[in-house]
A = this chain, B = another copy of it.
Amino acid sequence: MDSTPGPAPDHSGQPGQPGPSLDDPEYRAAVIDLLGVLAYGELSAFVRLAADAALAPQIGAQAQLAGMAVAEFRHFTRLRDRLGELGVDPDEAMQPFVAPINAFHESTAPADWLEGLTKAYVGDGVGVDFYREVARFLDEQTQALVLEVLADTGHSAFVVATVREAISVDPRVAGRLALWGRRLMGEMLSQAQRTAAERDALSNLLVGGMGGGGVPGFDLAEVGRMFARLTEQHTRRMRALGLSA
Contact = CB atoms under 8 A, between A and B. Distances in A.
A40 B53 contact: no
> Interface centre among A43, A46, A63, A67, by most B CB within 10 Å?
A63
A98 interface: yes
- Contact residues on A (Cβ < 8 Å of other chain), bracket: 20 to 34
Interface string A62-103: 110011011001001000100000000011001100100000
Interface string A37-73: 0001001101110110110001110110011011001
A46 B66 contact: yes
Contacts of A62: 43, 47
> Interface centre among A40, A69, A98, by most B CB within 10 Å?
A69
Contact of A59 (B43, B48, B63): B43
Contact of A95 (B47, B51, B59, B67): B59
Contact of A60 (B46, B59, B91): B91
B46 A91 contact: no
A132 to B, nearest CB: 26
Contact of A63 (B67, B69, B70, B80): B80
Nearest to A92: B59
Interface of A: 40, 43-44, 46-48, 50-51, 53-54, 58-60, 62-63, 66-67, 69-70, 73, 76, 80, 90-91, 94-95, 98
Given A59-B95, A70-B70, 11 more contacts: A43-B62, A44-B54, A47-B51, A47-B53, A47-B66, A50-B51, A59-B90, A59-B98, A60-B90, A60-B91, A70-B73
17 contacts: A40-B59, A43-B59, A43-B62, A43-B63, A46-B50, A46-B53, A46-B66, A47-B50, A47-B51, A47-B53, A47-B66, A50-B50, A50-B69, A59-B90, A60-B91, A63-B80, A70-B70
